[in-house]
């Protein structure tokens, strides 16, 4: 299965991480030593995806700029022999052959944001959707695992799933269906934020999807649902009626950087992957914060 395009809905207001997002795009907030968006883009590139369609709001153009070359800065760093920094700023421009931005003028929900990318995706190819709030630590990359599962089962689409404690199911989109193997189900039921006690399972939707363009038709027919927004979960319920939609309990870890405590936890975990940062963190946790001018 050829999946060329990644759609990234990134037009949201990021209210759960205010004040950080008062004048910075949530997707550009630093996580360890890279912007949040870097991780989602690298995952897609490492999964074989070659185009990115960014759905943004006014003021969030910096996300797209991150994936362009800055020739002046490259020259400057090259002249000064700063090879490490040069490699770091050059990397994101190499992830994709092309990056397009599409404006979502009104925040009408995730489903509506995906629909904004319809003309960028076209009618012919299965595409991926990635919500950069969810940082995936997976090997192979999460999207690759999902594409592989689609190929294995001849599926038209896939959703990344995690088993959550039953008491937390009301916070997520929840799916249910028939088991295909220990990690994969064929989905027949999807509910966005079920009422407590009414969830059809404890399998929660994480921010990675694969779908063919029939999803756009489904979104066009979807009325606003939970919290008054056009929900991609509702559109996928339509999709699953006639298309083969699978759920993949991927191998790896998902870090939710979309609210403040999740964002701090994600920082901590990703920084700890780097031995230099890890040592700093361990020193502080062992010895406390060093004091200036101790007597």
Q: Which residues bind ligand UTP (CB under 6 A)?
A: 9-16, 26, 55, 104, 107-110, 112-113, 131-133, 258
DSSP the chain: ----EEEEEE----GGGTTTTSSS-GGGSEETTEEHHHHHHHHHHHTT--EEEEEE-TT-THHHHTTS--HHHHHHHHHTT-HHHHHHHHGGGGS-SEEEEEE-SS---HHHHHHHTHHHH-SS--EEEE-TTEEEE-SS-HHHHHHHHHHHHT-SEEEEEEE--GGGGGGSEEEEEEEEETTEEEEEEEEESPPTT--S-SEEEEEEEEE-THHHHHHHTPPP-GGGS--HHHHHHHHHHHS-EEEE--SSEEEE-SSHHHHHHHHHHHHTTSHHHHHHHHHHHHH-SPPTT--
| Nearer CB in complex with ligand UTP: 247/258 | 258
| Nearer CB in complex with ligand UTP: 226/269 | 226
Residue 54 tokens, joined: 């960014």
Q: Which residues pair with 33 in a beta bridge?
A: none
Closest distance between ligand UTP and the C-beta of residue 74, in Å?
29
Closest distance between ligand UTP and the C-beta of residue 214, in Å?
21
Closest distance between ligand UTP and the C-beta of residue 5, in Å?
16
Closest distance between ligand UTP and the C-beta of residue 179, in Å?
28
| Closest residue to ligand UTP: CB criterion | 12
| Nearer CB in complex with ligand UTP: 104/222 | 104
| Nearer CB in complex with ligand UTP: 113/155 | 113
| Nearer CB in complex with ligand UTP: 22/84 | 22
| Nearer CB in complex with ligand UTP: 40/185 | 40
Closest distance between ligand UTP and the C-beta of residue 151, in Å?
27
Closest distance between ligand UTP and the C-beta of residue 129, in Å?
9
């Amino acid at each position: 299965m050829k999946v060329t395009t990644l759609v990234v809905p990134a037009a949201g207001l990021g209210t759960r991480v205010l004040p950080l997002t008062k004048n910075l795009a949530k997707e550009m907030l630093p996580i360890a030593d890279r912007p949040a968006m870097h991780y989602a883009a690298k995952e897609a590139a490492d999964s074989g995806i070659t185009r990115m369609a960014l759905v943004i709001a006014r003021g969030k153009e910096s996300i797209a700029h991150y994936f362009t070359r800055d020739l002046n800065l490259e020259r400057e760093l090259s002249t000064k022999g700063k090879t490490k920094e040069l490699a770091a700023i050059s990397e994101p421009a190499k992830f994709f052959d092309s990056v397009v931005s599409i404006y979502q003028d009104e925040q009408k929900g995730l489903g509506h944001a995906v629909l904004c990318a319809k003309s960028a995706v076209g009618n012919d190819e299965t595409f991926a959707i990635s919500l950069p709030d969810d940082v995936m630590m997976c090997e192979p990359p999460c999207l690759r695992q999902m594409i592989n599962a689609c190929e294995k089962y001849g599926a038209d689409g896939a959703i990344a799933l995690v088993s959550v404690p039953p008491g937390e199911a009301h916070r997520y989109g929840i799916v249910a269906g028939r088991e295909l193997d220990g990690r994969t189900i064929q989905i027949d039921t999807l509910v966005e934020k079920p009422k407590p006690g009414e969830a059809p399972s404890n399998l929660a939707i994480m921010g990675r999807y694969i779908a063919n363009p029939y999803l756009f038709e489904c979104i066009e027919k979807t009325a606003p649902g939970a919290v008054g927004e056009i929900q991609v979960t509702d559109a996928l319920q339509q999709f699953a009626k006639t298309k083969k939609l699978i759920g993949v309990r991927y191998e790896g870890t998902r870090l939710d950087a979309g609210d403040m405590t999740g964002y701090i936890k994600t920082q901590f975990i990703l920084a700890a992957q780097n031995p230099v940062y890890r040592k700093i963190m361990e020193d502080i946790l062992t010895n406390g914060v060093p004091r200036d001018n101790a007597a």
